[in-house]
């Protein structure tokens, strides 16, 4: 087993530090929101994890297209890594959102567009993993996985649009405007952007680890094949 590259080791330490500082900033540095109180602090990590989930989702769809074009197995393992990380982060986003929604909206769960879309996305990811589990041939697994990710990537925006045609109560954070926009002070914006950067680093770190893991899994599969022969 090859040792971790220096940059990766550095990223390990950096991600822990960045998240720790982000924790400090959101709890102690950012001002307490007037209406919602302390629970609003969950928002910084909520937005950041949602961003990372989104990033993984877009990467997975892009890698699916790359795979189908080049049939290079490396895109498959990149895609799988992106899906797995995105799955975890969207789950965290939904949990954090629920914690926030309970006092803010008075309910753990509402059928709000982004919330519902995130939940459906999780289901698509789970279906994707189940699909992969049912196929033994790695090359076929990669092809089917790529096709399904691609279909998911196309249907999710449509899902969002169609649920959005119902009325929404989710605050629009980016590119919103109008009465729903949250009133954020400069410090709040700073902490939010900081958490987004911090979690992006965590994403890169995890992604790197996951790809290494994928390479080892592949190696083990090959060794097993050799033993069987």
Among 21, 54, 135, 204, binds another protein (CB under 8 A): 135
Q: Which stretch binds another protein (CB under 8 A): 87-95, 123-131, 184-192, 205-213?
A: 123-131
Q: Secondary structure of 48-95 in the HEC alphabet? A: HHHHHHHHHHHHHHHHHHHHHHHCCHHHHHHHHHHHHHHHHHHHHHHH
What's the CA gap between 184 and 47, in Å, rounded? Answer: 14
Residue 126 or 189: which CB sits closer to another protein? 126
Radius of gyration of the chain (CA): 20
Q: In this chain, which stretch among 50-58, 126-134, 201-209, 218-226 interacts with another protein, using CB under 8 A?
A: 126-134
Residues in region 81-110 near another protein by CB under 8 A = none
Between the alpha carbon of residue 146 and those of residues 24, 43, 51, 137, 159, the distances in Å are 40, 33, 22, 14, 20
Q: Which is nearer to another protein, 37 or 72 (CB)?
A: 72
Cβ neighbours, 10 Å, residue 120 = 16
| SS3 (DSSP) at 30 | coil
The reply on whether position 197 binds another protein by CB under 8 A is: no
* C-beta of 151 vs 172, nearer to another protein: 151
Terminus-to-terminus CA distance in the chain, angstroms?
23
DSSP state of 165: T
- Residue 8 interacting with another protein (CB under 8 A): no
Shortest distance in whole angstroms from residue 145 CB to another protein: 10
The contact pattern for another protein, residues 139-168, with x = CB under 8 A and - = no contact, is -x--xx-xxx-xxx-xx--xx-xxx-x---
Q: Does 204 bind another protein (CB under 8 A)?
A: no
Q: Interacting stretch for another protein, rule CB under 8 A, among 48-56, 121-129, 176-184, 218-226?
A: 121-129
Contacts with another protein by CB under 8 A: the residue count is 29
Helix, strand or coil, per DSSP, at residue 225: helix
The pair of three-digit structure tokens given for residue 101, joined into one six-digit string: 């929604």
Q: How far apart (Å, rounded) are the C-alpha atoms in residues 87 and 124?
A: 10
Query: Least distance (Å) from another protein to the CB of residue 68?
Result: 6
* Contacting positions for another protein (CB under 8 A): 68, 120, 123-124, 126-127, 130-131, 133-136, 140, 143-144, 146-148, 150-152, 154-155, 158-159, 161-163, 165
């Amino acid at each position: 087993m090859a040792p971790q590259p220096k940059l990766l080791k550095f990223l390990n330490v950096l991600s822990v530090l960045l998240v720790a500082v982000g924790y400090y900033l959101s709890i102690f540095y950012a001002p307490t929101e007037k209406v919602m109180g302390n629970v609003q602090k969950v928002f910084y990590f909520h937005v950041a994890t949602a961003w990372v989930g989104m990033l993984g989702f877009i990467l997975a769809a892009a890698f699916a297209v790359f795979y189908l074009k080049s049939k290079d197995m490396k895109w498959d393992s990149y895609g799988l890594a992106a899906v797995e990380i995105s799955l975890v982060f969207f789950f965290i986003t939904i949990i954090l959102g629920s914690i926030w929604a309970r006092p803010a909206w008075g309910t753990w769960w509402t059928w709000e567009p982004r919330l519902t879309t995130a939940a459906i996305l999780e289901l698509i990811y789970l279906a994707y993993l189940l699909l992969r589990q049912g196929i033994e041939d790695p090359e076929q697994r990669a092809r089917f996985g790529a096709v399904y990710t691609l279909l998911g990537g196309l249907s999710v925006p449509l899902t969002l649009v169609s649920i959005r045609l119902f009325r929404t109560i989710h605050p629009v954070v980016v590119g919103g405007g109008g009465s729903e926009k949250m009133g954020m002070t400069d410090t709040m914006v700073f902490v939010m952007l900081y958490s987004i950067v911090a979690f992006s680093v965590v994403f890169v770190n995890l992604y790197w680890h996951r790809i290494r893991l994928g390479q080892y899994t592949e190696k083990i599969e090959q060794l097993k094949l050799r033993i069987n022969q």
